[in-house]
Structure 1
């Protein structure tokens, strides 16, 4: 059996198994923390999640250094550090949320529960389509060996960093748009849409320039291997579209148009996955990132189309 497309005799297989085994214990706090963050965002409280995630990130960084090097746990130590930090984040968020809402309510409105499951199911479909495409790309990169995989992972980390940075814009736009839309203040809602889109476009370009100029310094945080850096460079310039794609998603969430987001991302994911399966195996890992670039481009096109 292959893990993420890693062959049985690959030097990457052992560390991958070790990391995934430990990371599995972090699934419960991740789900709890994401749900709690969504609740705080609904209250327009972005401060509490910031403090909670900041504390968890600081703990993660400290434990990484301790567990990976002095204790010699390697990749497994990185996974354990992440899991511990995720539990800390979940505990902080639940503690603070308990002062705002009744976490275990004796009264349940089943009509709202069904609506919640419908919306949640659509968003799960969207998430599966996104992660499925990224997982396929990672699998194809892993099949090409440790060096292409290392370059690919640097690109993935930068991709995630850009995604999280622009997700802040999406969440802000989502909260403001939802407020105006629910109050039937459509004129103000349009202003929010236009403002957020302009900010997203204005953010995407500087991010692209920053990646171009600062790539050597950023990539140096991961490795000094020239071959790995060359592969990472081939994919790094394709990341800037995230800024627009994530902002568009936030706007659709603001008007509760989960169905369009889910269906469009699933269709885009299928098209991009087909491209990856046909084209990527024939060429280098750079073609893998061409497939991901296609995925992000089609997401932006679908967002503007609506």
Structure 2
């Protein structure tokens, strides 16, 4: 296997591995980690528990310097994986990291899968200047074709038999993110509340709480979504064009809080994808929402700006 890059100034890499069985997984991922460790890089693995156990067994004592995070923590919610990676890198500034990131993608509902497409595309842009080599394994025998396509579309390099190869299926990440920002209008039967001033946010928060309980969400989820709506709706009132409207409705396996205002400025596809330095910085509300909700859709059309906050239901 080709050794990982040894300098922190080298460009970030974002590679995919499509593996057919657990043995291939352990061999390929284990080799990737060994190469990184041999170069003095720090190693992080975010993966399902069975994959972590397989890697530990394969690496033996070589697994000791590797930090392992179960995907039930690292991807809860999905955008938390960015924070896990950033926090890991911050513990040793200037030291290159080799990172393996995989989750139980087959268990995700459609809104989460759509958001994961954004996450994988955005990695190519938001981590481009970071000293990191990121490998994303995909279970070729267990995932449906549409899920495997996420890996093929969003990684410039494929790992094949230990060697990195250029990926002809790679798409421009900005083009992908723009396509994923298509607006889905609220259904005709959605509950709607008009908000024209900051004082209306309290009424919106109350509606979210009562409606969330009625939708079958657990109390902690209701609290999280209520906080996310407060942030996004406040942002719409401050930076958007009135009125701001809150629509609440079911969307299959998720319950949606849809904030819509009349602002129609150009959308930054990377808004809120990384934690701002200060809470008052631009993008903080969206970043917080992505840490609190199952999935977040952001887009704009001729009617204004739309932010859809999804909470996964148990019904």
TM-score by length of 1: 0.27
Q: 1 or 2 for the larger relative contact order (CA 8 Å, sep ≥6)?
A: 1
Q: Report the structure, 1 or 2, having the larger strand content.
A: 2
